[in-house]
């Protein structure tokens, strides 16, 4: 695996539809962009940020997410998330994440991911079923 360097960035976006509303994902009763979906978009941006550095069976798993969702977004608006790699601590990767809609910032925080071997990680996880 090539070692990722701090400062690399990537983004992910979507247009808010019924599927991304809090009332429909179980995170509230209002027809606004759901915090869990914003979280997913932030993680997707972080994954995209380092995708080109992953080789073979190496992948990442999310281990920590500390975010604030600061502004509501209505159905029909575009939302984008950006991730910037700020630290590489061995197998731990730390990202600054943010999200915005067409009107401005809607969230920010820190996300950590850990480098793992996919097959080994999956086997260990499935061993819980025994």
Whether 3 is covered by a domain: the verdict is no
Structure-token match 């999956």, residue found: 122
Chain length of the chain: 130
| Residue 84, in any domain of the structure | yes
pLDDT digits (tens, 9 = 90+) for 40-99: 999 999 999 999 999 999 999 999 999 999 999 999 999 999 999 999 999 999 999 999
Owning domain of residue 64: 9-129
Q: Please report where in the chains the tokens 């995708």 appear, as a residue.
A: 51
Residue with tokens 């950590």: 112
**What CATH number does residue 13 fall under?**
3.10.129.10
Is the separation of the CB atoms in 49 and 62 below 8 Å? no
| Residue 1: per-residue pLDDT | 72
Q: Which residues are bridge partners to 114 per DSSP?
A: 61, 92
Average pLDDT over residues 107-125: 97
Cα–Cα distance for residue pair 103/118, rounded to 1 Å: 39
Q: pLDDT tens across 9-43, in order?
A: 999 999 999 999 999 999 999 999 999 999 999 99
CA angle 83, 114, 5 (to 5 degrees): 50
Q: Is residue 121 part of a domain?
A: yes
- Does this model's pTM top 0.85? My answer is yes
């Amino acid at each position: 695996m090539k070692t990722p360097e701090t400062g690399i960035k990537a983004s992910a976006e979507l247009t808010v539809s019924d599927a991304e509303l809090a009332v429909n994902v179980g995170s509230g009763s209002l027809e606004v962009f759901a915090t869990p979906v914003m979280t997913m978009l932030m993680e997707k941006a972080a994954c995209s940020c380092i995708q080109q550095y992953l080789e073979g069976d190496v992948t990442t798993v999310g281990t920590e997410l500390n975010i604030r969702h600061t502004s509501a977004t209505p159905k029909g608006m575009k939302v984008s998330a950006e991730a910037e790699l700020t630290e590489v601590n061995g197998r731990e990767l730390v990202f600054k994440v943010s999200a915005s809609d067409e009107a401005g910032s809607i969230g920010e925080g820190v996300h950590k991911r850990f480098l793992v071997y996919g097959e080994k990680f999956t086997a260990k996880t499935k061993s819980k079923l025994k």
